[in-house]
Structures are given as C-alpha cells and as structure tokens.
C-alpha cells in the first residue's frame, strides 16, 4: 500500500449513530493522516472540537449523493495532498458507497445493500451482530489494517466527546440565564424520532414522573430541538420547557445535570458521550445493539416491557441521593 496522506470518513445521519461512531473517528484521527469528516450539517457543531485541529476538516453533506460526490471532488482538487487518499464508509448504505465511488476515492465499508462492487475493500459483518460501537470499530480496524495503520482490538469502554471553549462558554451563559446550578436539575427528554418496528420508542409516563419529581423538590427541565417541542410538551406538560441549544453546548449541559432520563434516542447517546448520569428507558428496541456506550448509564426495561413509574422513580432517587452525599 502506498503512503496515505488523507482519509475521508463518512459518518451516519442520526445523532445517536454519530455518537456511536466516535470510536471509529478517533481511530482514524490517531493514524496521523489528514482526516475529512463527511456528515450532515448538524454534526459540525457537535464535532467542532475535532476540527479545531489543522489536519481535520468537516464537509457538510446534502444527502444527494451526486451533489456530495461533486463536493468531494471539488474539495480534493482545491486541497491536493502528496500521497494516496482513501475513504471509509461507516453507514452501509448504497448511496454512501456511490458517493465515494463517483468522488474518485477507493472506499472500505461493510458488504451490504448490494454495494460490494462499489467498494475497494469490502468487509464482512460480524455475526452475531454486536453493539454498533463494536461493529463500526471492527470495520475501522480492518480498514486501517489494509492501509498499513494499527488500531486497538476493541473500543474504549468510555468514549468522550471533546468540547470547544465556545461550547463551554455557551453552556455557562445558558445556565446563568436560566438559573441552573450544577447537579441542581434533572433533564428529561420525552421524545424519540420515528418508530421501531411500528412501535413508539417513548416511555409513556414522563408526565407522572415529572410531577413526582416536583413533589420531591426537584427541578425538571427539557430543552428539545424545535421540531420536537410539541412532542415534548404533549408527553411532559409539567416540565419546565427551556429554549433549545446547539448540540455541542447541549451535550455539555447534560454533564451538569444531576440526572438525565431519556428514551433510546439521540439524547441517550449524547449523555453517554458526556459521561452524564443517565437512565435510558427502553421497551421496544434492542439495547444490546444501540444502548448507551457508557459506564455511568443505567438502562431500565426490556423489549416488550416498559419499566413502571415506581421502578423509574426509585432508581432515579437512588442515583440522586448518591450524588447528594458528601465525598
């Protein structure tokens, strides 16, 4: 293999999946090659600490593979490098492989969706299916091996999202504006995008939980993105609704909370990336594949059975009382 100057990495389209691919992104960055992160525009703020480094750049994708391929071609033409360029596709979609193929980049990725012919380095998926973090890290390790780089055999048990000074400053201003004290509030995220096998991923008792917390003297807040405000209000009308934050400062805010309670959703993975104290509630999804990748996360429920209000409340109170004890 010729010396590689630059690696393009295509990240997934969903917040939670981007968080679960951080181990792969870190491994690519650790090669010392120049790195171009290819992802949806919203991910730029979340990943801004990475792109503070001069050899890491972000290309915002439109989702139209022909347009995105042209954008990558134009970028390569305007920023030439002395040696070989390669690509890694974390998503196993056909369009991700097409994008890199038409951008003129040899690509590694999982065999799936009839796209093996588009990949220079097709990789067979692990069976039985592991957690997404493990699966994508495995793909990355195999690809880096093809390219002459080393990579750890397994991902770390904690994968921290780095923050910029701007993220922290915006979080601090937000906390001051809304009189939020560190460990003095509970964040709930009573929303989840889409359905899982036709069933809602939202735990049904957020309103009752909010009222129970408030009776115990806890401050309960939520700050959903604009497109989820109505869903959040409907599911927890008694919670304090605060303005939305960009993803970077929002993730930093989660780490300031006494507790985060959420569904198997993007907030679950953002909390894990911040090592926040969290409870993730499941009832329809496979936690062994998409659970929060964190040593400070608890998961309640199982496929076909949501946890009861009493189960969630007693578990939460145990965490809150532990945090309140002096060291």
DSSP calls for 112-173: -TT-GGG-SEEEPPPSS---HHHHHHHHHHHHHHHTT----SS--S--PPP--HHHHHHHHH
Could you tell me which CATH class the domain 169-322 is placed in? alpha beta
Residue 327's pLDDT band (boundaries 50, 70, 90)?
A: very low
17 CB-side CA count, 13 A? 14
Tokens of 138: 């495995």
Mean pLDDT, all residues of the chain: 95
121-123 β-sheet, strand order: 56-60, 34-39, 4-10, 84-89, 107-110, 121-123
In the predicted structure, residue 194 carries a pLDDT above the cut 70: no
- Domain ranges across the chain: 4-147, 169-322
CA distance 232 to 237: 7
Residue 195's pLDDT band (boundaries 50, 70, 90)?
A: low
297-300 β-sheet, strand order: 240-241, 220-222, 186-189, 259-263, 278-281, 297-300
84-93, 96-105, 129-138, 154-163: segment of lowest average pLDDT: 154-163
- How do residues 54-77 score in pLDDT, each as one tens digit? 999 999 999 999 999 999 999 999
- How do residues 75-96 score in pLDDT, each as one tens digit? 999 999 999 999 999 999 999 9
Phi/psi zone of residue 76: left (φ > 0), alpha (ψ -120 to 50 degrees), beta?
alpha
Instruction: Please enumerate in sequence order all residues whose Cβ is within 8 A of that of 195, keeping only pairs 6 or more positions apart, or say none.
Output: 201
For range 214-234, the mean pLDDT: 97
Residue 197's pLDDT band (boundaries 50, 70, 90)?
A: low
pLDDT of the residue at 323: 60
- How do residues 6-15 score in pLDDT, each as one tens digit? 999 999 999 9
**Can you give the length of the chain in residues?**
327
Q: Does the fold of domain 169-322 match that of domain 4-147?
A: yes
For range 26-38, the mean pLDDT: 98
- How do residues 225-254 score in pLDDT, each as one tens digit? 999 999 999 999 999 999 999 999 999 999
In the predicted structure, residue 317 carries a pLDDT above the cut 50: yes
In the predicted structure, residue 47 carries a pLDDT above the cut 90: yes
pLDDT of the residue at 322: 77
CB-based contact 45:247 (threshold 8 Å):
yes
CATH superfamily of 4-147: Glycogen Phosphorylase B; (3.40.50.2000)
């Amino acid at each position: 293999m010729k010396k590689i100057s630059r690696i393009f990495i295509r990240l997934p389209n969903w917040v939670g999946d981007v968080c679960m691919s951080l181990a792969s992104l870190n491994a690519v960055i650790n090669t010392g090659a120049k790195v171009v992160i290819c992802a949806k525009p919203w991910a730029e703020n979340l990943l801004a600490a990475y792109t503070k480094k001069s050899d890491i750049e972000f290309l915002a994708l439109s989702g139209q593979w022909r347009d995105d391929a042209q954008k990558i071609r134009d970028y390569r033409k305007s920023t030439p490098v002395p040696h070989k360029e390669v690509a890694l596709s974390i998503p196993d979609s056909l369009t991700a492989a097409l994008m890199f193929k038409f951008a003129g980049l040899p690509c590694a990725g999982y065999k799936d969706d009839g796209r093996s012919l588009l990949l220079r380095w097709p990789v067979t998926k692990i069976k039985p299916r592991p957690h997404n973090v493990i699966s994508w890290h495995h793909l990355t390790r195999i690809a880096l091996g093809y390219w002459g780089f080393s990579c750890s055999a397994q991902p770390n048990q904690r994968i921290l999202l780095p923050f910029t000074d701007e993220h922290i400053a915006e979080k601090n201003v937000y906390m001051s504006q809304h009189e939020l004290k560190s460990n003095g509030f509970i964040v709930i995220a009573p929303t989840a995008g889409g359905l899982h096998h036709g069933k809602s991923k939202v735990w049904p008792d957020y309103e009752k939980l909010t009222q129970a917390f408030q009776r115990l003297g806890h401050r309960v807040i939520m700050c959903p993105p604009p497109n989820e405000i109505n869903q959040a209000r409907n599911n927890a009308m008694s919670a304090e609704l605060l303005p939305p934050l960009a993803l970077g400062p929002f993730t930093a805010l989660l780490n300031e909370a006494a507790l985060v309670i959420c569904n198997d959703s993007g907030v679950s993975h953002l909390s894990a990336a911040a090592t926040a104290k969290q409870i993730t509630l499941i009832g329809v999804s496979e936690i062994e594949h998409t659970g929060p990748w964190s040593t400070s996360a608890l998961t309640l429920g199982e496929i076909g059975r949501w946890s009861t209000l009493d189960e969630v409340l007693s578990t939460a109170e145990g965490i809150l009382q532990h945090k309140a004890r002096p060291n």
